[in-house]
């Protein structure tokens, strides 16, 4: 069997592959050459075991724009949600479809699906990572500020799945990634160790003001990720000093941009004046999910 091109995490890809996907994303967004239907006759199954607005719609619209077909399964109406194993699900779906995307809780479920599928599997978010988001985020950064290599991106708040994929990208694409989190919600030490072994520049802070000093981009995300609702009160309390507001943005470079994967919890991790302000690029970031994922799907099927 040929080697399958799964899109599981950015740390599994080499720099040239990441760059080629980003280049293709720009073609899909900006060029007439990107208006064809290279996935005509192909089908993707989208499995959602967690809610989604952007990922669901951008994958669905993206696949249709590429000429392909989409089947969406939610936890409620799939047997995976009732205990059928990821392995059996993967074997069956591979007989019907050309690609599988899954949004789920356990990262192991994604890995099991990929192990037993005979078609490419795409990570649409797990508790551990969100690589499609970061492909769109890199595209967005580079549209606004040029090449990301050597730049400084500061994550402020909970060191979650989205932060993990930023860290992977920083190591692979050679930019500095800073992360400011409360001491009680320490960032995953395994990820920090991996970054160090790989020669990446990743720095941990507990003081958000120090972390943003001189940075080119400030990134926030919800303080309560899907699955963390039981800890909501505790998290709101611990993360209150990590709100991205005008005062914090003033400590970054004067032309720093603000990014957020959305959905935002206005008044919690970010204030209205920042997310709606001139430094915010969140709508381009959301749009780029469409272009970046079209490039991911095309790469998975070897047509780009
Ligand atoms: N950013 C993101 O993945 O959004 P959704 O949860 O709406 O898909
Ligand atoms: N960290 C968030 C991202 C949502 C797109 C979550 O996992 O809920």
167, 223, 227, 300 from 195: Cα distances, Å:
8, 24, 26, 26
Task: Provide the mean pLDDT of the chain.
Answer: 97
Residues 215 and 204: beta-carbon distance below 8 Å: no
Tens of pLDDT, residue by residue over 273-295, are 999 999 999 999 999 999 999 99
Query: Which atom of ligand 2 is nearest the CA belonging to 55?
Result: 5
What pLDDT is recorded for position 304? Answer: 75
If you search the block for the tokens 């064809």, which residue do you land on?
A: 36
pTM over 0.85: yes
Query: Which atom of ligand 1 is nearest the CA belonging to 262?
Result: 1
Ligand 1: residue of 262, 265, 282, 288 to mutate (most ligand atoms within 8 A of CB) is 262
Alpha carbon 200 to its chain's center: 19
52 CA → ligand 2 middle, Å = 9
- Token code pair at residue 206: 């507990």
Cα separation, 125 vs 139, in Å, equals 18
2 pLDDT band (50/70/90 cuts)?
low
Residues 143 and 284: beta-carbon distance below 8 Å: yes
In this prediction, residues 67-73 reach a mean pLDDT of 98
In this prediction, residues 69-74 reach a mean pLDDT of 97
Which residue's CA is minimally distant from atom 6 of ligand 2? Answer: 225
Is a pLDDT exceeding 60 seen at residue 1? no
What pLDDT is recorded for position 33? Answer: 85
Find the angle CA(66)-CA(72)-CA(75) to the nearest 5 degrees.
150
What pLDDT is recorded for position 105? Answer: 96
- Cis omega (within 30 of 0) for bond into 263: yes
- Token code pair at residue 13: 């890809």
Tens of pLDDT, residue by residue over 124-145, are 999 999 999 999 999 999 999 9
- Ramachandran sector of residue 199 (left: φ over 0; alpha: ψ -120 to 50; beta: rest): left
Tens of pLDDT, residue by residue over 178-187, are 999 999 998 9
Ligand 1: residue of 289, 290, 296 to mutate (most ligand atoms within 8 A of CB) is 289
């Amino acid at each position: 069997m040929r080697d399958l091109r799964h899109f599981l995490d950015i740390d599994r890809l080499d720099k040239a592959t990441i760059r080629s996907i980003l280049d293709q994303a720009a073609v899909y967004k900006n060029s007439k050459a990107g208006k064809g239907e290279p996935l005509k006759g192909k089908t993707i199954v989208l499995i959602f075991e967690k809610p989604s607005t952007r990922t669901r719609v951008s994958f669905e619209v993206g696949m249709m724009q590429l000429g392909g077909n989409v089947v969406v399964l939610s936890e409620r109406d799939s047997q995976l949600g009732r205990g059928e194993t990821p392995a059996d699900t993967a074997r069956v779906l591979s007989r019907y479809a050309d690609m599988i995307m899954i949004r789920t809780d356990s990262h192991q479920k994604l890995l099991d699906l990929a192990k037993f599928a005979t078609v490419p599997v795409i990570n649409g978010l797990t508790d551990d990572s969100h690589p499609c988001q970061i492909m769109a985020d890199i595209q967005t950064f580079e549209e606004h500020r040029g090449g990301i290599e050597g730049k400084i991106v500061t994550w402020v708040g909970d060191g979650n799945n989205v932060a993990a994929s930023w860290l992977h990208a920083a190591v692979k694409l050679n930019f500095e990634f800073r992360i400011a989190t409360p001491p009680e919600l320490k960032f995953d030490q395994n990820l920090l160790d991996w970054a160090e072994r790989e020669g990446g520049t990743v720095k941990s802070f507990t003081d958000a003001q120090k972390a943003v000093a001189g940075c080119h981009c400030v990134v926030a995300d919800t303080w309560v990720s899907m699955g963390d609702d039981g800890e909501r009160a505790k998290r709101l309390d611990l993360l209150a000093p990590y709100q991205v507001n005008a005062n914090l943005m003033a400590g970054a470079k004067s032309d720093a941009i603000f990014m957020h994967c959305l959905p935002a919890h206005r008044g919690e991790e970010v204030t209205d004046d920042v997310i709606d302000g001139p430094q915010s690029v969140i709508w381009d970031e959301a749009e780029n999910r469409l272009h970046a994922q079209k490039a991911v799907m095309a790469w998975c099927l070897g047509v780009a």
